[in-house]
Structure 1
Amino acid sequence: MIAALSDNKALRRRLVAGSIAVLACGAALVWHGARSEASNATPAAPETKLVKAIAVAPMLGADTRTAVGEIRPRLESDLGFRVSGKLLERVAEVGATVRKGEVLARIDDQDYRNRLASAEADVAAAQAVLVEASAAEARIGALLTKGFTTRANYDATLKNLRSAQAKLKSANIAFEMAKDQLGYTELHAEFDGIVTASGAEAGQSVNVGQMVVRVADPNTRDAVFSIAEAAFANTPETKRPPKVTVSLLSNPAITAAGTIREIAPMADAATRTFQVKVSIENAPDEMRFGASVSGRAEGAGAPVVVLPGSALFDKDGKPAVWIVSPSSAVELKPVTVARYETDRIVVSDGLSKGDLVVTAGVNRLREHEKVRIVEGEGK
């Protein structure tokens, strides 16, 4: 009985060992077959990326520029006395309308009246000397003719006559100057206009040329703007200045047409901007001096390409876009961006009509990589 049990256990061990050997052999065959199948398989093709693209169609972009400025008179003069003195009265007040030749202010003229009286007396004295010298020349000349005097005496008399004539001429000039200076004690308007400012009050001593009254012509007005240098960067020298539409900031419905008449040749030292004066045609009354206005100039610009902002890519710190070639491969092409807007860019150079520009998925692309367009194809 014990011998039979021993024989059964030995048989069981041999069966288990055989089963394990069969399983191991089968697993080795399966693994070897898998390796053979894997080694004979073809490598998978690279994935073709899907992108969105649009066809380039250059268009003439409107070159619109705006600026804020103010209304100023085209003709404005600082009027002052041509002689110094004490200001007696200033007739014209700020805001008053004046006519050409109207008296605006007066200074104390007593000193100038005295000078005129002195000059008048000098003229009378010079006239008396001239009368005496003329009579002496006539007497000596008659004696010389008869031989009763010498030539030297006549020459001395003739010299006195000519000296008297010169002194009378000088006295007359001094008299006219004194009379003019007396007239300069009154300040007159040089043209019809409006008083916009004053620089002196009654009782104040004013110097020659000091501004007493500022007068502006209300019929000619300019809109004056300060424009940055970049605005002139792409403007050809021969290009005609565009028409400008000027409108009030407080009421944009009030507008007027204008023409650029003057561009400062030098930038302002503080602001580094150029002053541009726009002559306003038929300016409405609401555009008073000092009013804030907006100027808008529109002109036909060079052909540009408008792209979504998502199309822009950076290459070595410079703007570029991905172009889809006829072989469906992408190439990176540098471009020149004229300006950046909220959700789009305006390209001025670097693209040709018909180029397919990738507008989505630009950050996943590599040079010469194959792509497939899923939207915008053929546009």
Structure 2
Amino acid sequence: MQKSVGISLIVCMLVLSVGFAGCSKTEPVKEAAPLVRSQAVQADALGQNASYSGEVRGRYETQLAFQVSGKIIKRNVDLGSVVNPGDVLMEIDAKDIAQTVNISSAQVASAQSQLNLAETNLARYRKLYEQGAVSRAQLDQYENAYEVALAAVRQASAQYTQGTNQLGYSSLVADSAGVVSGVNAEAGQVVSAGAPVLTLVKDGEREIEISVPENRIDEVRSAQQMRVSFWALPDVTVEGKVREISPVADKVTRTYKVRITLTNPPAGISLGMTASVAVANSAGQQGVYIPLSAVYQTGDSPNVWVIQEDTVSLRPIKVGAFGDGKVQVVEGLQDGDVIVTAGVQKLREGQKVRI
């Protein structure tokens, strides 16, 4: 009896061991291919140079101001208004100027009356002198009085003309067609003569204004080629060239203003649009440029992960110039190679990836 119980226990233990062994078997875990950011390598002459952000400006921008002082009583334009030659943009109160004109007009009448009297007296004393009734000295006095009266008329007439001109200056008139790009004064404000109140961008050429740091001025000045793109027009790229470089740095930003003329400006550009200017290599040499984040350093050797048939492999490279988040690759890459540009530290040789 005891022998049979022992045999039964052994059989049960064997069955349990076999069951636990079956339960301990696990399926191998399949590793998901990581998703990576990639970039196709392209030979580019612009890769190592910076792109400068700028805006579309008019080549001819005029600061308009009144030629006389006074209180603004009317503003006829707003920001962005399109104006034509002869349009009245602003007006100032001209009551005081009109009174000055009236005073000048009265002075002209008075001087003209004095001139008429002097002319009559001169004619009378000439006849008396011819008859020998008066001396030459008396005739000279009346001739001199006539000259003084004539000069007084000229002076009063000039003052009257000046006053009428100032009366006309009380209206600010557009001298050319364009767009109002700035308003610096409002109705009710008292302005002095020569103080800018409006900015008018004349119709015509459009340019790109960028700010360049002092260590890049020579590079921009000697640039052989510039490519201008627009944030609002993603499919438009035009060529440009430097027209003007400011000789003095801005007091706040310590950068130099540079004006870029567009060779063939697109029809869709408007004033104030955001533009990006890429400066071509002055040497004109093509090169391969990749982001710094794509470089994987092993010891003293720089490498990149190259993707071929969804599999990554480490390839050593030889680097050149650094700048603006990019590095020049002198050897190791060819035009058309696809490389990983982000997450290079998490990859291993021969690993499958998703692009």
Counterpart position of 1:231: 216
**Alpha carbons 1:61, 1:301 under 8 Å: kept:** no
Q: State whether structure 2 residue 189 is matched by structure 1 residue 204.
A: yes
CA contact (8 A) 1:140 1:157 kept: yes
Distance 2:66 2:109 in 1: 30
Q: Which residue of 2 aligns with 1:262?
A: 244
Instruction: Could you tell me which runs of 5 or more consecutive residues in structure 2 were left unpaired when the two chains were aligned.
Output: 1-42, 301-319, 332-355
Task: Decide whether the 8 Å contact of 1:63 with 1:300 is kept in 2.
Answer: no
Q: TM-score, normalised by structure 2?
A: 0.65
Are positions 1:62 and 2:52 aligned together? no
The yes-or-no answer on 1:100 pairing with 2:82 is no
Amino acid at match of 2:253: T
Segments of structure 1 that go 5 or more residues without pairing to the other structure are 1-59, 314-336, 348-379
What fraction of aligned residue pairs are identical, expressed as a percent? Answer: 30
| 1:328-372 CA-partner distances (Å, limit 9, x unpaired) | xxxxxxxxx75468565669xxxxxxxxxxxxxxxxxxxxxxxxx
Paired with 2:104 and 2:248, the residues of 1 have a C-alpha distance of 50
Q: Which of residues 143, 163, 173 is equivalent to 1:178?
A: 163
Q: Secondary structure at 2:45's aligned position in 1?
A: strand
CA contact (8 A) 1:68 1:293 kept: yes
Contact persistence 1:97–1:193 (CA under 8 A): yes
Q: By how many angstroms is 1:298 displaced?
A: 2.2
Counterpart of 1:284 in structure 2 is: 266
- Asked whether the 8 Å contact 2:289–2:326 carries over to 1, the reply is no
- Aligned-pair Cα RMSD in Å: 3.3
Task: Report the Cα distance in structure 2 between the residues aligned to 1:206 and 1:164, rounded to whole angstroms.
Answer: 39
User: What residue in structure 2 maps to residue 377 of structure 1?
Assistant: none
Deviation at 1:146, TM superposition (A): 2.4
User: 2:70 maps to what in 1?
Assistant: 85
Distance in structure 1 (CA, Å) of the matches to 2:253 and 2:87? 40
Q: Aligned match of 1:296 in 268, 272, 278?
A: 278
The answer to which of 286-295 and 99-108 deviates more is 286-295
Largest Rg, 1 or 2: 1
The one-character-per-residue Cα deviations of 1:305-339 (angstroms, maximum 9, x if unpaired) are 999999xx9xxxxxxxxxxxxxxxxxxxxxxx754
> What does 1:1-379 correspond to in 2, within 5 Å?
62=45, 65=49, 66-233=51-218, 241-299=223-281, 301=283, 339=322, 344=328
**Cα 1:260/1:300, change in 2 over 3 Å:** closer
220 and 88 in structure 1: CA distance in 2 versus 1, 3 angstrom threshold: same
Q: 1:271 to 1:191 in 2, by over 3 A?
A: same
Q: Tell me if structure 2 keeps the 8 A contact 1:304–1:346.
A: no
Structure 1 pair 171–257 and aligned structure 2 pair: CA distance change class (3 A)? same
Secondary structure (helix, strand or coil) at the match of 2:71 reads strand
Taking a change above 3 Å as real, the CA distance of residues 277 and 305 of structure 1, as seen in their structure-2 partners, is closer
The alpha-carbon deviation at position 269 of structure 1 amounts to 3.1
**1:203-259: CA deviation from partner (whole Å, max 9, x where unpaired):** 222221223222112432110111122224467x8x5x5342211124431233322
